[in-house]
Structure 1
Amino acid sequence: MISKETILVIDDGKNIPIIFVTAKSEDIDIIQGLSVGADDYITKPFNPMELVARVKSNLRRYLALQGYRPSESNDKMALDELTIHFKTHEVTVGDKEIKLTRREFAILELLARNKGIVLSIEQIYERVWNEPFLGSENTVMVHIRKLREKIEPNPKEPKYIKTIWGVGYKLENK
């Protein structure tokens, strides 16, 4: 049987592939593992090359579902007047080049690469600052405000970076 500790690890709020590697090979164990959230299940003993192939397969599927495409078309995004060039870290609104700090660009890129998906302040902080979130809401909110002042036609009525109250922020084009 799957332990409660295992289920808690799976239910951490992150949307990442999970592969169970276990000695439990009974049908009920496999079914329960897949039922609680595993994307794949491999039993011991196993061929290490099979494990690598399963990891790669799950990562391919995960990245495809996240909209990741390693191609030139993923180097630029345009939303109405706002254009983001990911490789060169250039942002323009209309014909005007917008100067962003490294963190502002990282936040904008994160929101753009997850367009339409609401990201919590915690998710933004941990992905942009690459450190654990310890109640740093104001840090993210200040950066979002400064970013809006630079890219939004009217920062008080944002066109691109939307606040989803009680949840977080998302980039949209409406």
Structure 2
Amino acid sequence: ILVSAKTEDSDKIIGLNMGADDYITKPFNPLELVARVKSNLRRYISLGNFKQENLEVLKYEALVLDNASKEVSVDGEVVKLTPIEYKILEMLLKNQGRVFSSRQIYESVWEEPGYNCDRTVAVHIRRIREKIEINPKDPKYIKVVWGVGYKIDKK
């Protein structure tokens, strides 16, 4: 929301064209500003929920991650993952085809700086593979890109 002392129509048009969702001129009633903020939040949340509905079930071949029930299944059989393993798998499924370094995975999942985290991430990836792969040594789902990181191929 752009708050400005400029009241000309051309100024409002420029502000909205530059990316502002709303424009309010000074002096303004604080209650009006609060109402505009609430209106923008409602719009943002409803659009955000629309996107989330599309991402509730993530699939790659026989691997299915259901965000609503927080369940992972392979070939219809439920697989028990720890919360960390679930977050790693969710991240990779949401970004199929994209390679993530161990550090990127660590910082995204653990939400803290990743220093010397390669081994930690590798262990979690190995455990996920043991649970979802038929042959963990020849993985079908989570691939390693040597020297770079991990990915799930884009379908």
TM-score band by shorter chain is: 0.5 to 0.7
Q: CA deviation at 1:79?
A: 1.6
Question: What TM-score results when the alignment is normalised by the length of structure 1?
Answer: 0.60
Q: Per the alignment, do residues 122 and 94 of structure 1 end up closer, same or farther by CA in structure 2, a change over 3 Å counting?
A: same
The aligned residue for residue 152 of structure 1 is 133
- In structure 2, the residue matched to 1:107 is 88
Cα shift readout 1:88-143 (whole Å, capped 9, x = no counterpart): 21000112100000000000000011111000111000000000011111110000
Shift of 1:173: 6.2
Cα pair 1:80 1:173 within 8 Å, conserved: no
CA contact (8 A) 2:59 2:93 kept: no
The alignment yields a C-alpha RMSD, in angstroms, of: 2.2
CA contact (8 A) 1:159 1:172 kept: no
Correspondences of 1:29-108 after superposition (within 5 Å): 50=15, 54=19, 70-108=51-89
- Is the CA contact (8 Å cut-off) linking 1:164 and 1:170 kept in structure 2? yes
Matches of 2:147 and 2:121 in 1, distance apart? 14
* Structure 1 residue matching 2:65: 3-state secondary structure: strand
Q: For residue 74 of structure 1, report the CA deviation from its aligned partner.
A: 1.4
CA distance in 1 between partners of 2:93 and 2:100 (Å): 11
Per the alignment, in what secondary structure is the counterpart of residue 19 of structure 2? helix
Q: Secondary structure at the match of 1:70?
A: helix
- Counterpart of 2:19 in structure 1: which amino acid? R
Give 4+ residue runs of structure 1 displaced > 2 Å after superposition. 53-56
Quote how far apart the aligned CAs of 1:55 are: 7.2
Looking at CA atoms only, which structure, 1 or 2, has the larger radius of gyration? Answer: 2
Counterpart-to-counterpart distance in 2, 1:55 and 1:121: 37
Cα 1:166/1:70, change in 2 over 3 Å: same
**1:54 partner amino acid:** G
Q: Is the partner of 1:127 in helix, strand or coil?
A: helix
Shift in Å, 1:87 = 2.6
Residues 66-101 of structure 1: CA deviation (Å, up to 9, x unaligned): xxx714221102222111112321000112100000
Query: Percent identity over the alignment?
Result: 46
Residues 83 and 55 of structure 1, relative CA distance in 2, 3 Å threshold = farther
TM-score w.r.t. the length of structure 2 is 0.67
Corresponding pairs, count: 114
